[in-house]
Amino acid sequence: MSFDLVLFGGTGDLAWRKLMPALFQSFRHGTLPEGGRIIGVGRDDLSHEQYREQIQSRFNSVEESKRPNAEEFARFAALLEFQRMDLSKPDDYAALKSILETRNADSVVMYVATAPGLFTTVCEQLAAAGLNSDHTRIVLEKPLGHDLASNRAINETVRRCFKEKQVFRIDHYLGKPSVQNLFALRFGNALFEPLWKREHIANIQITIAEDLGVEKRGAFYENTGALRDMVQNHALQLLCAIGMEPPINAHADAIRDEKLKVLRSLKPWTAETLSQHVIRGQYSAGKSSGVSVPGYREELGVNPDSQTETFVALRTEIANWRWAGVPFYIRTGKRLAGRDAHIVVNFHQTPHPIFNAPVGAANRLVINLQPKDGLELHLLAQAQGNRSRSASQSLAPVQLDLDFDKRFGSERVGAYERLLLDVLDGRLNLFVRSDEQEEAWRWVEPIIEHWKNDAAGPRPYGAGTWGPSASSAMIARDGYCWSEES
């Protein structure tokens, strides 16, 4: 199957850091379809060879095991071309069309890795140039909009120019092997599904923690914040995967229909829950991995009086028969105590204890997403080593630990590699539909509006901690604690 992949933003940060390394890994593994061409698009005046040299130099910053040797890169570079374009000029799209028509590939992928403000311009210009035929697919990177209104405006433009089946709204979290295994855990095994409901589950916690600050993205982050950057997309997609009903089959729309039902079932916000169940914070100076680091307001590109949140913790519920009354806690932030993304499913304790057992030490399933990838099942077992009668009635925590990296090793496929291959193959399962996206924006919009009128601003927390103490207080009101505090 021949393909042309046109990468708008071909000299940008995402192309260097993620897309080109993912395409090379697919090329190395032999999974990239043959007969392909990758066309980088940008404003720079580069020849094909100069572009290839730039790509090669950037591979020096990739981890060593994923760097191409000279012979590998020479073969990969044969796929690469560059096209100078001003994305506002119709003539440049006409020139692109002429280039694409020289091959008439079986499929053409337009990957829009540009500033979000250019999404509608690119879509409209592609349609005007006749570059929206049925064999064309368009990939849109987040963020798609700044709020519900801007998201709707983008989606309306995209719908005028492309059919829904041609649109691939990418959320790289859905491409992570660990997230795909979350679907496999639930719907490929009969072990947990009978327990996956309110009668057996006490609460569910979703944590996406980063130990890094905003790095060189201060100006971008200042206009985004943790709620838009992580909660509206990544965290809510994880919540959907945990909370959705089993789909009727593995087709894209069957899966996305069930995720949409979860988003529509989230409890609406009230003035009381917005004040008690949503915590925002902003990191101040502190220590990360033993090194002194500046606070958010001292970062490059950040307003010294910034009110942008770098941390969000919230409590919500899915108002349906399966989950009624079960709290779902979401927590995400930068400059936290570690880089750790996981989901903790806390089961109810035994209704009538007959053993001496530590409270809250077990009866939980931990789904590790990063940097570790796998499952941990925490149980209680007979304490050993003491033959006294009291010891025979005591239990101690134990755990079953499945590390997917150790089990599957080199067979694992990275998130962007998986998603790019799915785009080339036309599989929409791991991509977000427009109504899902709009429903997620609809749910977070009351939080955005509440914060606009909240003079208190984000709560400070020291870099290298787990966020403001109010986050722990919020979950403690229900009688629970975050996983690292248990």
Half-sphere exposure in the Cβ direction for 337 (13 Å, CA): 8
Cis peptide before 468 (omega within 30 of 0): no
Taking CA atoms, 318 is separated from 227, 261, 264, 363, 400, in Å, by 19, 10, 9, 22, 29
DSSP 361-427: SSSEEEEEEESS-EEEEEEEEE--S--SHHHHTBEEEEEEEEEHHHHHGGG---HHHHHHHHHHHT-
- The token duo for 11 is 């000299």
Residue with tokens 């979000």: 116
- How far, in Å, CA of 316 to CA of 206, rounded? 11
| Closest to 12 measured CA to CA, from 64, 63, 48, 54 | 54
Is 348 considered catalytic here? no
- The token duo for 251 is 């087709």
Cis peptide before 268 (omega within 30 of 0): no
CB 423 within 8 A of CB 109: yes
- How far, in Å, CA of 411 to CA of 29, rounded? 10
- The token duo for 445 is 């919009």
- The token duo for 473 is 């207080």
| Closest to 239 measured CA to CA, from 147, 325, 148, 316 | 316
Cβ-count burial 267-282 (b if 16+ within 10 Å, e if not): eebeeebbeebbbbbb
Residue with tokens 């949503």: 278
> If you ran DSSP here, which 8-state letter would residue 318 be given?
B
- How far, in Å, CA of 477 to CA of 5, rounded? 51
| Closest to 283 measured CA to CA, from 266, 297, 273 | 297
Residues 29, 172, 200, 234: which is the catalytic one?
A: 234
Taking CA atoms, 89 is separated from 84, 92, 94, in Å, by 11, 6, 9
- The token duo for 119 is 């999404």
The residues annotated as belonging to the active site are: 234
